[in-house]
Amino acid sequence: MIRYFTAGESHGPALSTIVEGMPAGVALTETNINDQLARRQQGYGRGGRMKIEKDRAEMLSGVRFGKTIGSPVAMLIRNRDWENWTVPMAQFDDNAAEVQKITIPRPGHADLTGFVKYGFDDIRPVIDRSSARETAARVAAGSLARAFLRQLGIQIGSYISTIGPISESAAPVSLSELLDAGAESLAAEADKSPVRMIDTATSDAAIAAIDQAKADGDTLGGIVELYITGVPMGLGSYVQHDRRLDSELAAAIMSIQAIKGVEIGPAFDNARKPGSQVHDELFAGGEEGLRRESNRAGGIEGSMSSGQPIHIRAAMKPISSLVSPLRSFDLATLEAVQSRFERSDTCAVPAAGIVAEAVVAPVIANALLEKIGGDHMAEIAERLEAYRDALRMRFGG
């Protein structure tokens, strides 16, 4: 089972991650990891922090001669901004009394709840660990699972369909063609836009909306459309709640900072329709011996992969740090005050798509390993091909 842990604070010396359970023999390059980190830093509407950080992962263990060796993989991402925070974020120092405490919580953030939960007298520790800066470590971890999946013909990609009031009126005309080429083709097309939208006119309108929000001292959220292609039928299970593929994917997406909603396929639109207009009809034939002519289930039926592209939609709320502050109160005095501003983005929805791609990769990798097993790539690839062949033979494909 692949699992990972992250450590580090937003303004600390570095972020780190340990990935356990990676099979041996997964081919890796520094580019596999650092390209994903660079994608996470892009996107129109990002704040000043992105001008400081140039994220690169330092490999500490678990890889030899460009391949995983089955032992835990440890990586480090240094925070360049640390040099500006050595005093307020010092691990060991006698000058703590000289550092000004932050006691005004920002509405919508973890500030107040974290302050109360952990018994702090200063919000700074909450700010620095709850920050979305942590997702850089998760993108690094997810890049390993992505490399594993890619070598087995499974690809992950995303685009943005909504930013604030601007939405694409329908799925891009080229969506089906891009998915046929693999979800990474979809991601590459989206990456051509500063806001990762496929339609040029919608992209331009979203950029204008972000500019207006910035001028107003406000922020914008949006919707991520994520696809996973090449997933064989039968991953996940209906037998127990914690083995349901859709619940595991939803949990992974919901773990991303500022994500407040997830749906598999057009779930909320389906909820307003009769069943006769929702369920995907079945036909014999196709790549794995059967096919469907629609994908309203989003690639998952009965909590198991159907063999179609998995489609996940994620709603990101507007970022909570506002230049034009909302009302709050001082935790030290209980006096009503305006909330404080912490350096932040105007819109981070494009980056959220990259993080979403990263966090679903270990989920799919684990579901695949649970189904076919194996400890090294040659063994796993052979078993997966045998499983695909068995599906085709079973349904006469």
Binding-site residue numbers for NADP(+) are 40, 46
Long-range contacts of 212-215 (CB under 8 A, 24+ apart): 213/45, 213/164, 213/346, 213/347, 214/45, 214/346
φ, ψ at 281 (rounded to 5°): -70, 155
Per-residue burial over 259-294, b if 16 or more Cβ lie within 10 Å, else e, is beebbbbbbeebeeeeeeebebeeeeebebbbbbee
> Six-digit token pair at 26?
């997964």
Beta strands per DSSP E along 220-321: 222-229, 259-264, 282-284, 290-292, 300-301, 304-305, 310-316
Dist. CA 294–CA 215, nearest whole Å: 43
Enumerate the H helices of the chain as residue ranges.
Answer: 30-41, 49-52, 111-117, 124-130, 135-150, 175-180, 183-190, 200-215, 245-254, 267-270, 349-372, 377-394
Longest dimension (CA), the chain: 75
**Is the separation of the CB atoms in 6 and 16 below 8 Å?**
yes
Dist. CA 123–CA 295, nearest whole Å: 46
Q: Residue length, the chain?
A: 397
Q: What is the DSSP letter of 276?
A: G
Beta bridge pairs of residue 167: 162
β-strands 327-329, 336-338 pairing: antiparallel
φ, ψ at 333 (rounded to 5°): -115, -15
**Is the separation of the CB atoms in 198 and 179 below 8 Å?**
no
| Binding-site residues from annotation for FMN | 129-131, 257-258, 302, 317-321, 343
SS3 for 51?
helix
φ, ψ at 265 (rounded to 5°): 65, -160
| Binding-site residues from annotation | 40, 46, 129-131, 257-258, 302, 317-321, 343
